[in-house]
Amino acid sequence: MTAGSLSAAWADLPRDLRDAVLAKLLARRLRDGAEADEPALTRIDRGGPVPVSLEQAFILRQQRRFGGRVAWTLAAPPIVLDDVDVDAVWRAVATLARRHDVLHMTIREEGGRLLQRLDPDAPAPLKLTTLPLMAALTGAEGWVRRRYETMLAEPFDAATGPLWRAELVSRGERGVLLLCFCSLVADGEALHLIEAELRALYAAELGGTASQSPPPALDYADYVAAQDRLLRDARFGSALSWWRERLAGGPPEGWADGREGLGPARLYEQEIGAETGRALDAHAAAHRTTPHVVLLTEFAAVLRELDATDDVWVASATTSRQIAETQTMIGTFARLLPLRLRWPAAGDPLGPVGATLLEALDQEPVPHVLLQEMLDAAHPAAPSPFRYIFNHRQVGEDAEGGDRGDVPFRAGPRHAEAHREEHILLMVLQSGERRRLHWYLRTDRFGPADAERLLAGFLTALRRRLGMPLAGWN
């Protein structure tokens, strides 16, 4: 991370904390000289071999390790189109596919190396479906939802592609465009970029001004090439030394519980309503931190109780979109920071948790596949450091609208069930003051009753921290 490219993962930090970290980055830049900068992105020849990114390498590593039985599908929000023009949708989707490297990419192995194959002439993966008349009469929403669930359940094949799917379900003047992506080609931010570009392309088609603009000057293959140069130049060495010292000894011994590998998982949902959300924001401001750190602290408290240890490990999801040119790229930039939280013997853990997160973010960013390989080499029999994952991101306005207040527990949709390596994945999806919490829990460890107790305990502890009443809220 350079001084001029602060990570989006902590862009919302209070100004004094941002300034403190910026001062550290500037000092390190002066100490290490200009060589510490990220390499400039330049456009590469698409006709030559293009390696996979380290983010993609981690996904492929896990899929090989577990025989492909890993949930790596990202569901994009459906796009509702009134007065739909089917031909215009087709042309917009085809243009989108041609414009971006990852949307016409497959992956093959040659000479022991994983390489991307880019084919801008590959057909766009759009399927046209007419809503059955009976479904239109009795309830189109349920029929479309089941269709979407079927799409999400189908696996992707990186060797043959395509690595995304689109289906336009329409009848008469109304249509719904369903989209899903393999995580080899998109992350959460990319979903927003894709939706915005698709809407713009569709509007241009409708207006008879279809865009003839060339593909982006820089794209994902250029990012990968720059990353490959870093790897060849051994530029991650000093950062890996810091992580090696920080993670010495490996994850807690209690993790050697026979639950390594994949296990079935279920989704459970929670909601933090606007009133609690405002209290959360105010509490964070009063303690000179962020709501992200407050929620991470309460999540870590849950893990501390579960594992009965003060050596708490939790991976915080972040991004490698530090270089300005990557912030509008379609691709996967997701990374995990394995945080080791030494729980204080006394006092509020909020400060130490925030300090640990800032210290980790202050390091040069290292792809987590390298951190995993480092730990595997040092502790061959140790479990993965990514047993518990915390992900907090903005998702824009909530399409459902209305504030139901706090919702402590409900079962999620069945299509979200999958086999996962991590035991708990907590995704906090923030929309204004409200937060939707998606808990993916391994069912070989948490039954429905366990899940309900865990979620209710988390929200109770959060409300207690915020000074909110506990009686009658649930």
Token pair in block for residue 298: 């309460």
Token pair in block for residue 94: 């085809």
The answer to whether 427 and 437 have CB atoms below 8 angstroms apart is yes
The answer to whether 140 and 67 have CB atoms below 8 angstroms apart is no
| Local structure of 407: helix, strand or coil | strand
How far is residue 103's CA from residue 330's CA, in Å, rounded to a whole number?
8
Per-residue pLDDT of the chain (474 residues; tens, 9 = 90+): 433 334 444 444 444 444 445 445 444 444 444 344 455 799 999 988 899 999 999 888 888 877 765 557 888 889 999 999 999 999 999 999 999 999 999 999 999 899 999 999 999 999 999 988 877 777 788 888 888 888 888 889 999 999 999 999 998 888 999 999 999 999 988 999 999 999 999 999 998 887 666 789 999 999 999 998 888 877 788 889 999 999 999 888 888 776 677 788 899 999 999 999 999 999 999 999 999 999 999 999 999 999 999 999 999 988 888 788 899 999 999 888 999 999 999 999 999 999 999 999 888 788 888 998 898 888 887 888 899 999 998 776 654 556 678 888 888 876 556 778 889 999 999 988 999 999 999 999 999 999 999 999 999 999 999 999 886 666
Considering only CA atoms, which of 194, 201, 144, 150 is closest in space to residue 174?
144
Q: How many residues does the chain have?
A: 474
Considering only CA atoms, which of 85, 104, 20, 11 is closest in space to residue 331?
104
The domains found in the chain, sorted by start residue, are 50-223 (3.30.559.10), 236-465 (3.30.559.30)
Q: Model-level pTM greater than 0.85?
A: no
Question: Could you give the angle at the alpha carbon of 272 between the alpha carbons of 151 and 354, nearest 5°?
Answer: 100
CA trace torsion 13, 16, 20, 22 (10° rounding)? 60
- Cβ neighbours of residue 130 under 8 Å, at least 6 residues apart? 169, 170, 171
Residue carrying structure tokens 């000894």: 249
The answer to whether 73 and 152 have CB atoms below 8 angstroms apart is yes
| Local structure of 311: helix, strand or coil | strand
